[in-house]
Amino acid sequence: MSLPPLVEPAAELTVDEVRRYSRHIIIPDVGMVGQKRLKNAKVLCVGAGGLGSPALLYLAAAGVGTLGIVEFDVVDESNLQRQIIHGQSDIGRPKAESARDSVLEVNPLVNVIVHDTRLDNDNVLDIFSGYDLIVDGTDNFATRYMVNDAAVLLGKPYVWGSIYRFEGQVSVFWDEHGPNYRDLYPEPPPPGMVPSCAEGGVLGVLCASIGSVMVTEAIKLITGIGDPLLGRLMIYDALEMSYRTVKIRKDPNAEKITGLIDYDAFCGAISEEAADAVIDSTISVKQLKEMLDEREAGERDFVLIDVREPNEWDIVSIPGAVLIPKGEFLSGKALESLPSDKPIVLHCKVGGRSAEVLAVVKGAGFSDAVHVGGGVLAWVNQIEPDKPTY
């Protein structure tokens, strides 16, 4: 589906801009007018992480006149494997500021607007209203639904991307002309069903593959060239090196979006069963350390179970734990080997998965079970700070 150009062209390009963008200008489909449209465009990138990094750099290089960056996180060493807009010297800095500096190094002619804040219901409409196009590089369902609903309410198009391990997806959503995100995913997946990149990992270079497609779609929308991915979902498999597209149709019976909702409640960080299970059954890492000391002294006995995946265990583990991945509890396989005469202590990376497993364990009749709030990350931060995190 071809669409009209998203923005009007700027009045002119300077001599320096013509020199810089000459390889664009000599493309017949872009030309001088197309480059002027890019100059006049205002694009907001939600997130300066894995997808936001290549997206921001290539939007800047392409000559998008105004780039907004909304990001509240700080740069961590584990980001550098894929978030190429940040460097070693940026560790500990706000990502929005680090990204701004990198963008201006790539193209000082770009006007960069930093929104160093967490996007939420109170600010999303106000922030989005100042831009022509949204590029969504977020990594959680709650924010994705909020971005979608805000874009629908404001009548704005947005480019969406998603990555996990070796696979990525890209689409364009614009409710006035085609489907929106809720037509693709009417309901979020059950809590804990889809692991995040922090839990399951992502091939660093996949961010570049998907981020570059997202920028290509943004350029097409701004300049009005080509056939954007509106009504289509592009799926990329890096292991097979294959791209395929599937059609997305607008649901004529979908409930109309009339306002923003409680997205955390809509998506649910954990299931209701898990939320019920952790009541009065959560211990801190400091309590766990005391329990481990007492077990080593022969003063008490219990079994400590790590429900993460083997690759996570290889990075860091809590001394005295045994590894039984969450999937073995969900299938019922692990329940057969659980001791009925000892308390059970469960932990994962931060506490979400262990809460889900706790619900399964309690449901199977093991009432003397707890989980560790904060998981192995809290253990490293508070007990063994010399160990690595991820």
Catalytic-residue membership of 197: yes
Average pLDDT, the chain: 94
Assign residue 280 a region: left if phi > 0, alpha if psi is -120 to 50, beta otherwise?
A: left
Determine the Cα–Cα distance for residues 105 and 240; give it in Å rounded to an integer: 35
Q: Which CATH number fits domain 272-382: 3.90.226.10, 3.20.20.140, 3.10.20.30, 3.40.250.10?
A: 3.40.250.10
- Is the pLDDT at 192 greater than 70, yes or no? no
Determine the Cα–Cα distance for residues 236 and 240; give it in Å rounded to an integer: 9
- Over the stretch 274-310, which tens digit does the pLDDT of each residue have? 888 999 999 999 999 999 999 999 999 999 999 999 9
pLDDT recorded at residue 193: 63
Question: Do 15-267 and 272-382 have matching folds?
Answer: no
**Residues shown for the chain:** 390
For tokens 């709650």, the residue is 142
Annotated catalytic residue, options 45, 207, 267, 348: 348
For tokens 């010399």, the residue is 386
Predicted confidence band of residue 130 (pLDDT cuts 50, 70, 90): very high
pTM for the whole structure: 0.83
Say if residue 68 is exposed, middle or buried (CB neighbours under 10 Å; 0-12, 13-18, 19+). Answer: buried
Look at the domain 15-267 and name its fold: Rossmann fold (3.40.50)
Annotated catalytic residue, options 45, 197, 207, 267: 197
Mean pLDDT of all residues in 325-346: 93
